[in-house]
Amino acid sequence: GGRVVELASGHALTAHLLLLLDDSSPSALAVDVRPSPSGARLAAELVQAWPRLGGRVSIQERPLAEVEVLPGDVVVSVHACGALTDDVLEMAVRGSASVAVLPCCHDMRGAEIGGLGGWLDGPLAIDVLRAERLRAAGYAVHTQTIPGAITPKNRLLIGEKPVT
């Protein structure tokens, strides 16, 4: 895999976990405007348990808009609130990177639901439109749910950028 770029990373757990699961990814960048105070402690514990993570995850505090997403990157975000999920998807598309998001809260005030409100609840309509935007941008789209016992906000949206 390519570089893991976790946006709205909180404590950067997902970046660490993805490097553990796919050792072919060389490094990870975890960015948040306000990283979780427990992130550094968590990172130290993970590196102690899995030394191969040492020096491979860079945790940065800065605006997401400053992150340069590159082709070959794998952009991920877990529970980016509201329109922040859309920002993450847009950054991945602009950078021609594959992307996986687990959306969180959906801000329905002024939300564009594409006329789907008669069939689908608002949050699902928003996620359907997100999937369609990825497909329209040339991505292979995969959807899945993770167990509700892990989180009730459990819709996983994956956009795989075809190799050109």
- Give the model confidence (pLDDT) of 83-97 as tens digits: 899 999 999 999 999
Cα-to-chain-centroid distance, residue 40: 20
Q: Give yes or no: residues 133 and 55 share one domain.
A: no
pLDDT value for 140:
97
Q: Give yes or no: residues 84 and 134 share one domain.
A: yes
**Dihedrals phi, psi of 22, to nearest 5 degrees:** -130, 90
Q: Give yes or no: residues 75 and 126 share one domain.
A: yes
Q: Give yes or no: residues 60 and 97 share one domain.
A: no
Low-confidence ranges of the chain (pLDDT < 70): 163-164
Q: Give yes or no: residues 82 and 61 share one domain.
A: no
pLDDT value for 77:
98
CB contact at 8 A, 157 and 103: yes
Residue 5 pairs in a beta bridge with 29, 75
pLDDT value for 90:
97
CA atoms within 13 A on the CB side of 15: 32
CB contact at 8 A, 1 and 61: no
> What percent of the chain stands above pLDDT 90?
75
pLDDT value for 144:
96
The predicted model scores a pTM of 0.93
pLDDT 10s digits, 105-137: 877 777 788 888 888 888 899 999 999 999 999
The verdict on residue 21 lying in a domain is no
The verdict on residue 2 lying in a domain is no
Q: Give yes or no: residues 118 and 103 share one domain.
A: yes
The verdict on residue 24 lying in a domain is no
- Count how many domains the chain has: 2
Q: What is the DSSP annotation of 130-159?
A: HHHHHHHTT-EEEEEE--TTT-S--EEEEE
The verdict on residue 44 lying in a domain is yes
Domain interval for residue 75:
69-164
